[in-house]
């Protein structure tokens, strides 16, 4: 089973509502992990941060499937946002 098939099966099994709730919970866990690592940059907190990033990435993939959002479209938006960021950073120099 590839990644997309696995996530599609999870969505079919648990439903869009539940997986959307999981996505929100994982985002909250990542927020807490960032905060914790900022306060104390030890190995435990680093491992936790890494795990929460993985969880959120998994749920982002499921959100894209559930709400029919194409990676191509995300890439276009990222491109625009990165260009704007680059311009803002150039002004900082």
Over its C-alpha atoms, the chain yields an Rg (Å, rounded) of 17
Residue 29 as a binder of Mg ion (CB under 5 A): the answer is: yes
Interface with Mg ion: number of residues (CB under 5 A): 4
| Minimum separation from the CB atom of position 71 to Mg ion (A) | 22
| Minimum separation from the CB atom of position 52 to Mg ion (A) | 5
Residue 55 as a binder of Mg ion (CB under 5 A): the answer is: yes
Per the CB < 8 A criterion, the answer to whether 58 and 29 are in contact is no
Query: Within 13 A of 35's CA, how many CA atoms are on the CB side?
Result: 6
| Minimum separation from the CB atom of position 56 to Mg ion (A) | 8
Helix (H) or strand (E) holding 70: none
Residue nearest to Mg ion (CB): 55
User: By the criterion CB under 5 A, which residues form the site for Mg ion?
Assistant: 26, 29, 52, 55
């Amino acid at each position: 089973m590839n990644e997309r098939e696995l996530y599609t099966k999870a969505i079919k099994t648990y439903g869009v509502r539940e997986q959307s709730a999981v996505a929100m919970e994982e985002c909250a866990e990542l927020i807490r992990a960032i905060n914790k690592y900022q306060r104390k940059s030890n190995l435990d907190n680093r491992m936790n941060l890494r795990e929460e990033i993985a969880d959120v990435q998994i749920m982002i993939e499921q959100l894209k499937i559930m709400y029919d959002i194409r990676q191509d479209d995300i890439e276009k938006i990222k491109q625009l946002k990165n260009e704007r960021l680059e311009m803002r950073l150039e002004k900082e120099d």
